[in-house]
Structure 1
């Protein structure tokens, strides 16, 4: 099982990957939205913002998200690490219910380039 530090590191690496991505992906990630990522097996939530193509993790706290972020992710720590390492395809994991992504309809349309 991935640790909280490994999950935070995975979010940092995901942010770095978004920054170095091609124009389509970088454009999709260029939103300015609040973000939460609930790590279900650790019962830990990371909160922050998706801004200018980067994920800025501001805080973490035990339990589910306290506030409703504009973009909400939920998954296990192992799935987060596997996705960032390229071992788990996000779209397949989302379709299988291993990853939950919730956002407004317009944001989902823009984020589809990331899938």
Structure 2
């Protein structure tokens, strides 16, 4: 089971990947949205912002998210690490319910190139 620190590091690596993105992907992530990532097996939530392709973790809270972020993720810690490392496919994991992504329609459309 991934630890809190491993999950935080995975979010940092994801942010680094988004920052290095170019072309259409870079344009897709150049917006400003609140973000939460609930790690179900650890029962903790990372909250922050996705702004201009950078994820900034602002807080780590025990339990599920307390406020509804504009982009909400939920998964196990191991799945977060595996997604960021490219070991599992996001679209397949999302379609089967292994990973949960909730956002407004416009945000989902903009995020689709990242999936």
TM-score range normalised by the length of the shorter chain: over 0.9
Tell me the residue number matched to 1:96: 96
Two-structure CA RMSD over aligned residues (Å): 0.6
Equivalent pairs, count:
115
In structure 2, distance between residues paired with 1:93 and 1:24? 23
TM-score of the superposition, structure 1-length normalised? 0.98
Separation (CA, whole Å) in 2 of partners of 1:88 and 1:22: 22
Which residue is 1:3 aligned to? 3
Partners in 2 of 1:113 and 1:13 — Cα distance?
A: 18
Aligned equivalents of 1:64, 1:48: Cα separation in 2: 14
Superposed counterparts of 1:54-69, under 5 Å: 54-69=54-69
Q: Distance in 2 between matches of 1:51 and 1:100?
A: 21
Unaligned runs of 5+ in 2: none
Residue by residue over 1:54-110, the C-alpha shift from the partner in whole angstroms, topping out at 9 and shown as x without a partner, is 101011010000000000000000000001111011111101100000000100010
Structure 1 residue aligned with 2:114: 114
Q: How does 1:32-43 map to 2 (within 5 A)?
A: 32-43=32-43
What is the TM-score with the length of structure 2 in the denominator? 0.98
In the alignment, the residues of structure 2 paired with residue 85 and residue 109 of structure 1 have an alpha-carbon distance, to the nearest angstrom, of 23
